[in-house]
């Protein structure tokens, strides 16, 4: 007897019919994304009034399957589409929504997230980057770090301090900042796994128009919580235009082909794939301890696959992804060590194991550390007592932040 869960989703036939009638590999990416935005199938969880279909996040798996079956190019995806639009819909003005959302829906812009700082990572509310009012603009000074995609972004979601004389959570304001200006310097960070996906961003008298402040003055923490909520719960899917300046004017079918090549490479970099390949070439296939470790990794991989396609708690999904990465790296290294410590071509199994091992530490840090995720689960899901926060009610100027003193480096009182 078949389960009702096996029945096709009601929108499956609709998106398949639309793709059959509209997908054209010979048009440009720009033309395709414009067509996709108008249909609502590029961002089906967005409201119908804003290029969406108003569907639940669980729709993504079915819609992606329909696109894959049709061989069609997916929608644009960056921080702007994943986090920026939901934040603007919740807190932005009508003018901000009309200015930014159409550009993001059509993939005309890419955004990044300017939250973390050298002294304010997990304790995001202790951000020191300051914003000082200057007429109809804000002048921004400070430094952000671990910014994904900054080199290719047009704008950034920025959290900056606008008042140092109130508690740290109460003195922040949320902005959308234009990155193409003299006061913004972006420096890629070279990671130990050989990649440079992150950057540090220096802001020196950078400017933000007053009408690009999102939410109320000093109400940025509430806005940032919305952004963080979506950061933990979204299921990324689509085309990230990183490093492709002429993407919009290229043939859509060519991008599909290059994307398939990239996905094939990604599948070889999948932690579970690396473990299974390591087990296949090892001399421990009859070892019960090794077999048990591989089986355990396989089970965790299947759980990750299940979590990845469902609208479940984002913190739980992120914690499991970190655990899977660490388990897979340890298992693969144990199976082929000492070869796993060697540098090799990225397509070679040895190189894949080494890269996985060197990449795993970042999984428990980026997007919110594992410790923060556990606090969220404990306090907001399980209802456990909140962790003590000494100094939460003190003015930010009086707090010690990181290794510097005084923390209240916002020395100028803002003119409101």
What is the rounded CA–CA span in Å between residue 105 and residue 125?
A: 30
**Is 304 inside a domain boundary?**
yes
Residue 341 lies in a domain: yes
Contact 239, 255 (CB under 8 A): yes
Q: Tell me, what's the pLDDT at 347?
A: 59
Structural domain includes residue 297:
yes
21 within domain boundaries: no
- Could you tell me if residue 86 is inside a domain? no
> What whole-number distance in Å separates Cα of residue 315 and Cα of residue 317?
5
175: which strand partners?
158, 213
CATH of the domain at 117: 2.40.110.10
Domain check: are 275 and 222 in the same one?
Answer: no
200 an active-site residue? no
What pairing do the DSSP bridges indicate for beta strands 198-209 and 111-114? unpaired
Give average pLDDT by consecutive 10-residue segment, the chain, 416 residues: 50 91 96 96 95 87 90 93 96 98 95 90 87 97 93 95 95 97 94 84 98 97 92 73 76 85 62 90 90 93 73 71 90 85 71 88 77 80 80 82 50 37
Tell whether 117 and 211 lie within a shared domain: yes
Token reading at 59: 């729709």
Say whether both 135 and 198 belong to one domain. Answer: yes
User: 223 and 330, same structural domain?
Assistant: no
Q: Extract the tokens encoding 64.
A: 């992606």
Q: Are residues 279 and 206 in the same domain?
A: no
Query: Could you tell me if 217 and 308 lie in one domain?
Result: no
How long is the chain? Answer: 416
- pTM for the model stands at 0.84
Q: How far is 69 from 129, CA to CA, in rounded Å? A: 46
42 secondary structure, DSSP code = S
Domain count, the chain: 2
| Sequence-distant (≥ 6) Cβ neighbours of residue 87 within 8 angstroms | 157, 174, 214, 223, 226, 227, 230
Domain span at residue 172 reads: 111-227
Q: Is residue 42 part of a domain?
A: no
Does one domain contain both 223 and 116?
yes
The reported pLDDT for the residue numbered 283 is 87
Name the catalytic one among 109, 231, 339, 371.
231
Residues 223, 144, single domain; the answer is yes
Rounded alpha-carbon distances, angstroms, from residue 92 to 55, 212, 216, 396: 21, 9, 10, 26
Contact 174, 214 (CB under 8 A): yes
pLDDT score of 389: 74
Q: Are residues 184 and 285 in the same domain?
A: no
Do the domain assignments include residue 160? yes
Same-domain status, 363 and 277: yes
Same-domain status, 354 and 289: yes
**Of residues 230, 182, 168, the one with CA closest to residue 396:** 168
393 domain residue, yes or no: no
């Amino acid at each position: 007897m078949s389960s009702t869960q096996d029945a096709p989703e009601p929108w499956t036939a609709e998106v398949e019919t639309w793709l059959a009638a509209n997908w054209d590999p010979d048009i440009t990416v720009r033309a395709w994304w414009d067509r996709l935005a108008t249909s609502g199938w590029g961002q089906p969880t967005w409201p119908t009034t804003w290029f969406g279909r108003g569907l639940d996040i669980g729709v993504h798996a079915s819609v992606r399957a329909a696109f894959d079956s049709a061989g069609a190019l997916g929608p644009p995806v960056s921080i702007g589409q994943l986090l920026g639009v939901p934040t603007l819909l919740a807190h932005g003005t009508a003018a901000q929504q009309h200015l930014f959302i159409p550009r993001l829906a059509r993939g005309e812009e890419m955004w990044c997230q300017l939250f973390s700082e050298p002294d304010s990572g997990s304790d995001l509310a202790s951000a020191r980057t300051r914003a000082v009012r200057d007429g109809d603009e804000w002048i921004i000074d400070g430094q952000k770090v671990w910014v994904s995609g900054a080199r290719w972004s047009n704008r950034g979601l920025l959290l900056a301090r606008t008042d140092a004389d109130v508690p740290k959570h109460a003195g922040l304001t949320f902005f959308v900042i234009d990155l193409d200006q003299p006061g913004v310097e972006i420096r890629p960070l070279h990671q130990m796994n050989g990649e440079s996906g992150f950057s540090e961003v220096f802001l020196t008298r950078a400017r933000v128009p007053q009408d690009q402040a999102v939410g109320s003055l000093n109400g940025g923490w509430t806005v940032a919580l919305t952004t963080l909520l979506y950061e933990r719960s979204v299921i990324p899917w689509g085309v990230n235009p990183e490093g492709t300046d002429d993407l919009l004017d290229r043939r859509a079918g060519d991008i599909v082909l290059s994307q398939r090549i990239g996905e094939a490479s990604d599948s070889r970099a999948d932690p579970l794939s690396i473990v299974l390949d390591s087990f296949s070439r090892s001399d421990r296939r009859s070892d019960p301890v090794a077999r048990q470790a591989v089986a355990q990794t396989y089970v965790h991989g299947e759980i990750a696959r299940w979590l990845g396609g469902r609208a479940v708690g984002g913190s739980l999904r992120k914690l499991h992804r970190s655990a899977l990465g660490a388990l897979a790296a340890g298992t693969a290294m144990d199976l082929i060590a000492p070869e796993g410590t060697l540098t090799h071509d990225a397509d070679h199994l040895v190189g894949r194991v080494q890269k996985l091992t060197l990449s795993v530490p970042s999984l428990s840090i980026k997007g919110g550390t594992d410790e923060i995720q556990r606090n969220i689960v404990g306090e907001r899901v399980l209802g456990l007592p909140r962790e003590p926060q000494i100094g939460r009610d003190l003015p930010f100027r009086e707090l010690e932040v990181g290794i510097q003193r005084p923390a209240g480096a916002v020395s100028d009182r803002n003119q409101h």
